[in-house]
Structure 1
Amino acid sequence: MPGERIDGTAIDAPADVLLAEGPGGAAGQEPIGPQTLVCPLETRPRAAAALVGFLSSETPVLRTAALTAEESVVRSRAEAVVAELGDSATHIVSATWTVPLPWFALVEPAERILVLPSDDAVTAPEAPTRRCYWRVPMADALSRADAAADLLADTLGDDGPSDVLRDTARWLRHFDPGALVELDYGGLVALMDDQTLAADTSAEDVAEALEALRAGDAEKAMASYRRLRDFWAGRAAHQRAN
């Protein structure tokens, strides 16, 4: 695990953190707390959770090929690290190969920050990293998650997207109301060229689908969802690519 020696004992090392420029607080309100916000990366519990997920979902052949110790020992150590969190919540929740589509309900299309350096800039040492992300006040993210969950529960039932959004809202409520919430494509940008990223309408598709459901237009909502699903299916296909 990150932060461990080979025998499982902990390494005394500084904690890795992500810094973000605030301020927090809902739109139109006075900022809460400092203007520089800190997010612990918590690589140890996140790696342990990812390992538990790997052991639970992958085939025996792949598990055997990937592990260098008995699977029961690896699972026990990983579950023990996850249990160290107790009632607290990790500051970062991640998914592999795709973005859980309900998460786009937490953001507005216009809030997207897209960093696409030119070819000349990419070769420069100071060139910024390609990124695609949204960063919104906690109050906005929570109100959007709750509203979308209620709408989806009323129109599509309590399972599926509405359940994901309620679970996401429960997670967000562990943190300070002045925090910022970031939805970041992370390494997924490596699976898309600049043109694909620039043309990505995921947030727009979710917003249109929700608005169509509010208006009772199920056909339009389904068309927006299909567009969104097809876009991310192409990214998720890399998981099983040879």
Structure 2
Amino acid sequence: MTAVRTSVLPPYAAQLRVYEPLAAYPEPERSRWQAYAAEHGPDADGAAEPVAAAALAEQRQALAELAGRTPGALPDRESGRALVRVVDRVTYICPWTTRLRSWQAMDELRAALPAFLLDTVLPPAVRAEAEADQARWRTAHPDARPWILTSRWEVPVRWCLPFGEEDRHFVPAGPGGAAGDRPVPASLFYLTPMAQARRRVARGYRALRTAVPGSRSGPGGELVLGVEQVGRWLEEFHPRSLVELDYGGLVHLLGAEGLAAERSVAEIEAGIGALRAGDTEAAARAYEAVTARWRRVLALRYAS
């Protein structure tokens, strides 16, 4: 179990994660992760327990590495750590893959920032070196994929589709355990078996393709494409995996009342059901309610 005593809050970001059972990993990875899980213990023991403390530990480590040396575009080597869940006496592993995710974040940054600002944050020489490292690594690891996807300042609508309301786990904030521990922050997450997640995404994708003329090119095409990408990503993993949507640091933006009332997954689930029944107006209302709520949250990134 990861113990955290810190005033550092997680970033305002949600994560979509896949936990694969130990049996899914080939040797020698399986033995390494088995030893890791035995040494560190589970970060969450049971489906209803959050991994918030361990997720925060990853953020602290990343900050410590940046503060302890000359900042670089990405870590020098891949992390050997993971999130560990135990559900029904089965151990599941979600590797951090911090270096791979850093490359992806760099790609997102390049797409999001103007050239002059990007050159200030990541000078061209630094980017060129990181991109060359990435190309070499990709050549040696053509099938590599991250177990964790990150979204800053919002939960994308497409991430809601793998889950149902019954997968929801809300853990209110509370006092720390042992004397001297800091209070435990609130946590909101969804956890579901991979088979169920794939079925829901496939049903949603079919409903959207039928309801959205022109699919990718027409109105709503971005959502259709996003759902397709989520479905393809899930197909990369073992069929007995677990899929988790963790609101992470976004809980600090929603506030106690907003967090307790947050039901984006249920609203999108109802919207997909309405689409399948041919009620496009009800589906549109559900979609607009969710997107309007997250637009308000997204606007906070510009607040000073």
TM-score range, shorter chain: 0.7 to 0.9
Contact 1:52 1:75 in 2 (8 A): no
Q: Is the 8 A contact 2:191 2:242 kept in 1?
A: yes
Find the aligned partners of 2:141 and 2:180 in 1 and give their Cα distance.
41
Of 184, 193, 213, the match for 2:275: 213
What pairs up with 1:135-214 in 2 under 5 angstroms? 135-157=191-213, 158-159=215-216, 160-214=222-276
1:173-203 CA-to-partner distances (Å, cap 9, x unmatched) read 1111111001111222221211111111201
Residue 66 of structure 1 is matched in structure 2 by: 121
Classify 1:65/1:187 alpha carbon distance in 2 versus 1 (closer, same or farther; 3 Å).
Answer: same
Offset at residue 8 of structure 1 (A): 9.2
Say which SS state the counterpart of residue 85 (structure 2) adopts: strand
* Mean Cα deviation higher: 228-237 or 7-16: 7-16
What corresponds to 2:161 in structure 1? 105
Q: 2:117 aligned with 1:52, yes or no?
A: no
Structure 1 unaligned segments of length 5 or more: list them. Answer: 24-33
Give the direction of change, closer, same or farther, for the CA distance of 1:8–1:213 in structure 2 (3 Å limit): closer
- Bigger relative CO (Cα 8 Å, ≥ 6 apart): 2
In structure 2, relative to structure 1, the CA distance for the partners of 1:70 and 1:239 (3 Å cut) is farther
Work out whether residues 115 and 128 of structure 1, in 8 Å CA contact, stay in contact via their aligned partners in 2: no
Note closer, same or farther for the CA distance 1:115–1:145 as it changes in structure 2 (3 Å cut): same
The letter of the residue matching 2:185 is T
Answer with 120-129 or 52-61: which moved more.
120-129
Identity of aligned residues (%): 25
Correspondent of 2:86 among 17, 21, 24: 21
Does structure 1 residue 40 correspond to structure 2 residue 95? Answer: yes
Q: Deviations over 1:190-228 (max 9, x none)?
A: 212111111112012101211211222121111111110
- Report how far residue 13 of structure 1 moved: 8.0
Deviations 1:65-115 (A, max 9, x none): 323563652552464377364222211112211111021111011211111
1:90 pairs, out of 146, 157, 177, with 146
TM-score by length of 2: 0.67
List runs of 5+ in structure 2 lacking aligned partners.
1-61, 217-221
Q: Name the CA distance, whole Å, in 2 between partners of 1:221 and 1:38.
A: 36
TM (normalized to structure 1)? 0.82
Give me the whole-angstrom Cα distance separating, in 1, the residues matched to 2:209 and 2:74. Answer: 46
The CA RMSD over aligned residues, in Å, is: 3.0
Deviation at 1:129, TM superposition (A): 3.4
Number of equivalent positions: 230
> What do residues 2-39 of structure 1 show as CA deviations (whole Å, max 9, x unaligned)?
7998699986786110011224xxxxxxxxxx612111
Partner of 1:237: 299
